[in-house]
Amino acid sequence: MNLERVVFGFFVILTLSLNAAFVAGGVETAAHHNVWILTFTIIVNLVAIGLKLGDRSQTGALLLASGLVAGLLLITARIVWIVADPEGGSGPGPGDMADIVSIAMGALVANVIATVILVGDTLLSRR
Amino acid sequence: MTPTSDLDRVAMIVLRYMRRPLFVLLFVYSVGIMGMALMPGKVVEGETTHMNLFHAFYFFTYTATTTGFGELPNGFSEEQRLWTIFCLYTGVIAWFYAIGSLIQLVQNPHFIQAMDGFRFARKVKSNAEPFVILCGFGDAGSLLARGLSDHRMRAVILDADPERIKALGVRDYTVPMPGLHADASAPKHLLAAGVEHPACRALVALTNDDDVNLKIAVMARHLNPRLRVICRSTSARHEANLRALDNVTVVDPFEIFAQLVSRAIARSELHNLNAWFVGTRGVELGAPVQVPRGNWILCGYGRMGRWIHHNLQAHGLDVCIIDPEVDANQVEEGTAIVRAHADHAALMTAGIDDAAGVIAATNRDADNLSTLLSVTELNPQAFRIVRQNSHENQVAFDAARADLVLQHSLTTARRILKLLISPLVQELIDWLAGREPAQTRALVARLKAAVGEEPPHLWSIRLVPSQAPAVIDYLEAGGSVALGPLCCDARAFPARLPCEALAVHRAGESIMLPDADFPLGVGDEILLCGTPWSESMLQATLHNPYTLRYVVTGVDEPRGYLFAWLDRRRRRRGAHS
């Protein structure tokens, strides 16, 4: 067992889980989506990116790329939230909420890809 | 004089053939159009109208080609109609003449040949994959092409016989193999076949005529001195000439055949290993054919017979020769000779009853097969080796159930294929032939343990940045990689992958059967034998720096900067305390 693999696997899978937790619910309903979960997802994702820096293997490069895509989309979603809800009151309107959730849905795809690569690589190397 | 290309020839033939029909068409068109413009048309409002030149051309075009739209743009006068009849007949006849000439041109053998040459040269020129030029597409040539196709290597084929090139068109090769019916010894055709092409790897001269082969080799040497040439030769005179040229490998089918026969008799374990490497049907590694010891009878003492006799004597075997035309001066003292055809009586005289085996090596398949029948009747215990001359008689030889059937076109094709695809294999076999049989048995035992019953997969890797980036980086960073760790299975460290390194080629020298702790260097070429999946596993080790470090050191090193930093800190702490 390799400690680095445990730590990295933890952060990648946690990003996926948090991302899924955020997008679950009605697309236009602000009450179904928690801005704290979105923020946590961004932080965990950034940690996963940081752990992959310095890896020179092909799978490492692919994992870094998918992490960067997910990070970009999640941060975009967070910025849209800030712009759409300046007072921090009742949350964004239905139109803005649909934008935020669909962007986060895109990040979910990137996270699924990262997890599939991680699991596949581990299964193929079998050690 | 400027050199003419095939395209120039094509253009010239077309012009020569089509000149007269084109002039006829031009003449008929001119007369018809002018006449139509001059003919008085219908009278409109008291004035005679005339067709203008463009309308006349339009009218003639649709009339001469028998389209016949009718009287356009206005109705015709009687004079114009008369002229129309003239136009129609002359125009149609001129067109038929032109089309007939064109069809004749397309069927002209010179034109067909020039077009074939042009298309062939264009195909070769546009090919970017590595390829081999193959001159001569007989038995050995077609077997070699089949072998190359199995290894996904392209070949460009030249043969003087048009029937063989036609046969090439219906083969199901895995890669494109363009062929041309042409005399390969003409430099023009060698150039068309790509002798100067940068992707051309080698030229193989395999025609049945030694003179032609020599000519091809010499031409190719002049056209491209860096190109490797492999040349078939059966005469000593030609061979001496060829050996004087550098970069030329001479392949004598009789010598190869005789070498195989004598190794099958005297070094059966080596013969078995060689047959396993080249993938002969029904060969099991480590189970060599048991050849009895004793006197041998050789039927046929031509060029092949002499080589076999020579090789058998070198191995210290007694041989009795049966041949109707053998010259006693050619044979050394003390060799028993029976001057007859190899029938019952001759075999009895030669001592078939207590002979260890018989080699039927004449150049006639029917004689060899009938000798086999006699031997089976007289001494069923005798070991029977037979030479098969023609590939077409395969079924008869299969039915004859000889102990060993050798076909010289096949052995030649296999030897050349080995030289082209993996030259180190032949070097290894020759190296083993010069060593004790125990060394071969040890290698066979190692291969059996590593690869097992599966057919062998031979491949070679070069330690260059494009093929083994991880190894190059590791070596340049000051690390050292040995052969043994490189072949470790990263999934089950420290178990080995099912492959064995057979040879390492470094700076023009070959190291045979290197040890597991043999240190590797940049630029080495390694010949490996294993299972197909072990090649892809080894590929992963060669490309992935972490897998390589793991198999070399046994430690799975951290990958990211953070864990690498933590690792260094921990080690520094460990060193302090």
Q: What is the pLDDT of residues B209-223, one digit of tens each?
A: 888 998 998 888 888
User: Is it the case that residue A79 has pLDDT exceeding 90?
Assistant: yes
> Any chain A CB within 8 A of the CB of B187?
no
Question: Is B86 contained in some domain?
Answer: yes
Residue B322's DSSP bridge partners are B299, B338
Helices (H), B151-209: 162-168, 187-192
SS3 B396: helix
Band (pLDDT 50/70/90 cuts) for residue A68 is very high
Residue pair A92/A85 in contact by the 8 Å Cβ criterion: yes
> A–B: how many Cβ contacts below 8 A?
44
User: Is it the case that residue A12 has pLDDT exceeding 90?
Assistant: yes
DSSP one-letter string for B315-345? TT--EEEE-TT--TTTSPTT-EEE-S-SSHH
Distance from CA of B519 to the nearest CA of A (A): 25
Q: Do A57 and B492 touch (CB under 8 A)?
A: no
Residue pair B349/B340 in contact by the 8 Å Cβ criterion: yes
> Any chain B CB within 8 A of the CB of A87?
no
User: Do B374 and B313 belong to one domain?
Assistant: yes
Distance from CA of A79 to the nearest CA of B (A): 29
> Any chain A CB within 8 A of the CB of B395?
no
Q: How far is CA B87 from CA B19, B66, B90, B291, in A?
A: 22, 11, 5, 89
Question: Is B504 contained in some domain?
Answer: yes
Residue pair B291/B381 in contact by the 8 Å Cβ criterion: no
- In the prediction, which pLDDT does B487 show? 85
Q: What angle do CA B417, B418, B419 make, to 5 degrees?
A: 90
Q: A2-40 burial, b for 16+ CB within 10 Å, e for fewer?
A: eebbebbbebbbbbbebbbebbeeeeeebeebebebbeb
Amino acid letter for position B87: C
Q: How far is CA B188 from CA A42, B123, B192, in A?
A: 70, 16, 6
Report the C-alpha gap between A98 and B493 in whole angstroms. Answer: 51
The pair of structure tokens assigned to B437 is: 């049989």
Q: Do A57 and B545 touch (CB under 8 A)?
A: yes
Report the C-alpha gap between B463 and B466 in whole angstroms. Answer: 8
User: Do B90 and B146 belong to one domain?
Assistant: no
Q: Do B564 and A51 touch (CB under 8 A)?
A: no
User: Is it the case that residue A108 has pLDDT exceeding 90?
Assistant: yes
Q: What is the CATH number of the domain that holds B84?
A: 1.10.287.70
Q: Which residues of B touch A51 (CB under 8 A)?
A: 560, 562-563
Q: Which residues of A touch B491 (CB under 8 A)?
A: 125-127
For the beta carbon of residue A53, count every other beta carbon within 10 angstroms.
13
User: Do B136 and B91 belong to one domain?
Assistant: no
Nearest alpha-carbon partner for B566 in A59, A57, A5, A4: A4
Band (pLDDT 50/70/90 cuts) for residue A44 is very high
Q: Do B559 and A125 touch (CB under 8 A)?
A: no
User: Do B377 and B412 belong to one domain?
Assistant: yes
Q: Which residues of B touch A125 (CB under 8 A)?
A: 490-491, 547
Which portions of chain B are predicted below pLDDT 70? 1-7, 328, 332-334, 577
User: Do B411 and B440 belong to one domain?
Assistant: no
Among chain A residues, CA nearest to B493: A127
What is the helix (H) or strand (E) element at residue B309, kind and residue range?
helix B303-314
Residue pair B406/B136 in contact by the 8 Å Cβ criterion: no
For the beta carbon of residue B225, count every other beta carbon within 10 angstroms.
10
What is the helix (H) or strand (E) element at residue B404, kind and residue range?
strand B404-407
User: Do B29 and B134 belong to one domain?
Assistant: no
Report the C-alpha gap between A5 and B437 in whole angstroms. Answer: 51
Question: Is B117 contained in some domain?
Answer: no
Distance from CA of A68 to the nearest CA of B (A): 15
Q: What is the pLDDT of residues A16-35, one digit of tens each?
A: 999 999 999 888 888 899 98
Among chain A residues, CA nearest to B563: A4
Distance from CA of B461 to the nearest CA of A (A): 20
Q: Which of B366, B386, B421 is the last residue in one of the domains?
A: B421
Range(s) of the domain holding residue B144:
127-251
Model-level pTM? 0.71
Identify which of B545, B546, B560 has the shortest CB distance to residue A53: B560
- In the prediction, which pLDDT does B1 show? 40
> Any chain B CB within 8 A of the CB of A55?
yes
Among chain A residues, CA nearest to B567: A4
Q: How far is CA B451 from CA B77, B442, B496, B540, in A?
A: 95, 14, 11, 19
Q: Do A57 and B544 touch (CB under 8 A)?
A: yes
> Any chain A CB within 8 A of the CB of B562?
yes
- In the prediction, which pLDDT does B27 show? 94
Residue pair B254/B304 in contact by the 8 Å Cβ criterion: yes
What is the helix (H) or strand (E) element at residue B360, kind and residue range?
strand B357-360
> Any chain A CB within 8 A of the CB of B491?
yes
Nearest alpha-carbon partner for B256 in B422, B417, B436: B417
Identify which of A2, A56, A127 has the shortest CB distance to residue B491: A127
Q: Do B559 and A54 touch (CB under 8 A)?
A: yes
Q: Which of B401, B421, B441 is the last residue in one of the domains?
A: B421
Identify which of B491, B546, B559 has the shortest CB distance to residue A126: B491
Q: Which of B107, B140, B171 is the last residue in one of the domains?
A: B107
Q: What is the CATH number of the domain that holds B167?
A: 3.40.50.720
How would you classify residue A91: left for phi > 0, otherwise alpha for psi between -120 and 50, otherwise beta? left
Among chain A residues, CA nearest to B560: A54
Q: Which residues of B touch A56 (CB under 8 A)?
A: 545-546, 559
Instruction: Give 3-state DSSP helix, strand, coil % of chain B, rounded to 5.
Output: 50, 15, 35
**Max Cα–Cα distance, chain B, nearest Å:** 129
Residue B347's DSSP bridge partners are none
Residue B460's DSSP bridge partners are B527
> Any chain A CB within 8 A of the CB of B410?
no
Report the C-alpha gap between A8 and A5 in whole angstroms. Answer: 5
What is the helix (H) or strand (E) element at residue A6, kind and residue range?
helix A3-23
Among chain A residues, CA nearest to B473: A56
**Counted domains in chain B:** 4
Report the C-alpha gap between B70 and B52 in whole angstroms. Answer: 17
> Any chain B CB within 8 A of the CB of A123?
no
Residue B503's DSSP bridge partners are B512, B527
How would you classify residue B531: left for phi > 0, otherwise alpha for psi between -120 and 50, otherwise beta? beta
Q: Do B546 and A8 touch (CB under 8 A)?
A: no
Q: Do A127 and B492 touch (CB under 8 A)?
A: yes
DSSP one-letter string for B231-266? EE---HHHHHHHHTSTTEEEE-HHHHHHHHHHHHHH
Report the C-alpha gap between B355 and A53 in whole angstroms. Answer: 76
- Mean pLDDT across chain B: 85
For the beta carbon of residue A76, count every other beta carbon within 10 angstroms.
16
